[in-house]
Amino acid sequence: MAGIKDVAARAGVSISTVSYVVSGKRKIGAATQARVRAAALELGYRPVVDATEPASARGTHVLAVSSPLRPYTDVSNYAAFFFALAAAKRHGYDILLLTHEAGDQELRRVADRGMADGVFLLDVLLSDSRADMAGARSTANTCSACRCLWRRCSPTAAT
């Protein structure tokens, strides 16, 4: 993924000039702006929305959905959650689907790598290692028919 240094090099300007063009904080000449924007487009550069916050505070804007596909799983019951996920998408979140039977291992990998801000647990059993593992790592919030566990995002973001 291209960074601000790549855009600056391609456009033949300083990193601060790229930053000013992207943020609009300083007046930059039209020709220079055009060069910077063309370089950014060509390289596929996407600026960080709020670079003043540390990356760990910004989060990933990814929500994980953990739902093991068991022989008896009736996925038609999940329709309501697809609407919640669509709402999360409208709020700028991407969705990571985890379908492995050993979902606690998947959740541990996702949590250890900081790949998601929160997780929806679907098809939760009375004794479910996914819920135990996720609950130990997050602040738990409960919603109907599933357990929603969030780390850096608000439960209202998916409503």
Residue 74 has pLDDT above 50, yes or no: yes
CA atoms of 126 and 131, how far apart (whole Å)? 9
pLDDT digits (tens, 9 = 90+) for 102-146: 667 777 777 767 777 777 777 777 777 777 776 665 443 333 234
The number of folded domains in the chain is: 2
| Residue-number span of the structural domain to which 16 is assigned | 4-43
Look at residue 7 in the predicted model and tell me its pLDDT: 94
Quote the distance between the C-alpha of residue 2 and its chain's center.
19
Same domain, 37 and 94: no
Q: SS3 for 142? A: strand
Same domain, 29 and 104: no
Same domain, 76 and 144: yes
